[in-house]
Amino acid sequence: MSDRRTPPSLPLVATCGLGLEEILEAELLALGAAGTVREKGAVTFTGTWEDCWRANLRLRTANRVLVELGSWPGRDGAELAAGARALVARRPGTGTLLHPDRSFAIQATCTASTIRDARWVALSVKDGLVDGQRDRWGRRASVDREDPELHLRVRLHRDHATLLLDTSGEPLDRRGYRAVTAAAPVREQLAAACVLASGWDGRGPVVDPMCGSGTLLVEAAWLALGIAPGSLRRHWAFERLPGFEPRGFDAVRREPIPAPGPDVRLVGHDLSGDALRAARANLEQAGVLDRATLTRGDAFGTPGVEPPPGPGLVVVNPPHGERIETDTAQWRALGDLLKQRFKGWRAVVLAGGPDRGKHIGLRPRRRIPVMNGPLEGRILVFDLF
Ligand SMILES: C[S@@+](CC[C@H](N)C(=O)[O-])C[C@H]1O[C@@H](n2cnc3c(N)ncnc32)[C@H](O)[C@@H]1O
């Protein structure tokens, strides 16, 4: 991933939803990332600015990509401020990013720490940073909460602070294809994780029998076609950082991406006309509507979902039944549908609700506990052969 002329030097962090760490690490390794280490909700690695831009453009399951600027103990406000001050004053490399010419904003989180107020964490670190700037450059940067050049994040965990610079800006699920939202859409990263978890080779059609706004179909199509998840995005925080070279980023954008399914066909089915309207708008925005057949009806009814000649990938995120009995009945029906109509296919089910797919009547090859927004869920992968 690294260019020999620019030695890898940045400690980078890609964050993700809980449960997606292994899939994210596999994505990073496929991009050639060095020194990957899995953490809870993140994977750390090292690389150049170019690697950072590439990660932002190409990672399908990451929330953001950040540069770690430093870490230090922070049991109270004074210690937090002193560590931040020392970081600016002494660090020649990443400390230089914190030059007073750049406006900044700080957001903080704290978990399992003596300090419990995240605003206090942010304020203490901000005070330390501007004192460090005065020590080093004789003046301080302005804080700009609306449109800062540096988006800084502090994580205080077990009385230890880590200062990070966000290079993404808007989170990476803002792919730019969601024209219309239907009820309960799955987040883009989780949809991509479902497809990646399946081990699908990108060949054959993709069917979503309860497609809602079409997120799973778009993510599968973009993977098969080698379209970068950031291809429609217009802005990234890294464009305003030192070291950004538009021509270098253009070159990263032009790098070929494996496209194992250039002829991929998409089939979406849903009970709801509104959901199908949303799917149509989103697929169009994503540039894949001409490959899709969208039909309305009950996936379990007659005629139900008619799969095209396969095998391919069937991927589905059923609604959550409100009561355990209806939820369980739906899982049984879905299991029967998969067994009867998708023999020889790969299947991925993003399962939530009280049952979480336990009564589907098929043995998953892979079961990955994930968070679907605030709800617990499972990615279940089945080989129906
Ligand atoms: C959780 S949503 C799917 C969200 C979708 N993955 C997305 O990203 O927008 C579940 C969808 O299943 C549809 N649905 C519920 N029961 C159905 C059935 N029996 N047949 C077909 N669609 C159904 C709902 O209309 C809803 O759009």
Q: Is 213 in the pocket of ligand 1 (CB under 6 A)?
A: yes
pLDDT computed for residue 354 by the predictor: 76
Bridge partners, 161 (sequence order)? 72, 156
The pLDDT tens digits for 205-217 are 999 999 999 999 9
The pLDDT tens digits for 254-264 are 999 999 999 99
**How much distance in Å is there from the Cα of 353 to the middle of ligand 1?**
13
Q: What residue owns the CA closest to ligand 1's atom 7?
A: 185
The pLDDT tens digits for 121-137 are 999 999 999 999 999 99
Residue 335 has pLDDT above 60, yes or no: yes
- Ligand 1 atom nearest to 213, measured from its CA: 9
**How much distance in Å is there from the Cα of 211 to the middle of ligand 1?**
6
Q: Is 299 in the pocket of ligand 1 (CB under 6 A)?
A: yes
Q: Is 217 in the pocket of ligand 1 (CB under 6 A)?
A: no
Mean pLDDT of 283-302: 96
Q: Is 275 in the pocket of ligand 1 (CB under 6 A)?
A: yes
Give the phi and the psi of residue 231 in degrees, each rounded to 5: -65, -25
Mean pLDDT of 348-367: 90
CATH class of domain segment(s) 10-166 = alpha beta
Q: Is 186 in the pocket of ligand 1 (CB under 6 A)?
A: yes
Q: What residue owns the CA closest to ligand 1's atom 12?
A: 210
CATH number of 188-228+262-383: 3.40.50.150
Q: Is 120 in the pocket of ligand 1 (CB under 6 A)?
A: no
pLDDT computed for residue 148 by the predictor: 94
pLDDT computed for residue 2 by the predictor: 44
Locate the domains of the chain by residue range: 10-166, 188-228+262-383
- Biggest CA–CA distance in the chain, Å, is 75
> Band of the pLDDT at 3, cuts 50, 70, 90?
very low
The pLDDT tens digits for 130-174 are 999 999 999 999 999 889 999 999 999 999 999 999 999 999 999
Are residues 377 and 371 in contact, defined by beta-carbon separation less than 8 angstroms?
yes
Q: What residue owns the CA closest to ligand 1's atom 8?
A: 185
**How much distance in Å is there from the Cα of 326 to the middle of ligand 1?**
15
- Ligand 1 atom nearest to 350, measured from its CA: 6
> Which residues lie closer than 8 Å to 340 by C-beta, 6 or more apart?
none
Ligand 1 pocket, mutate which of 187, 210, 327 (most atoms under 8 A from CB)? 210
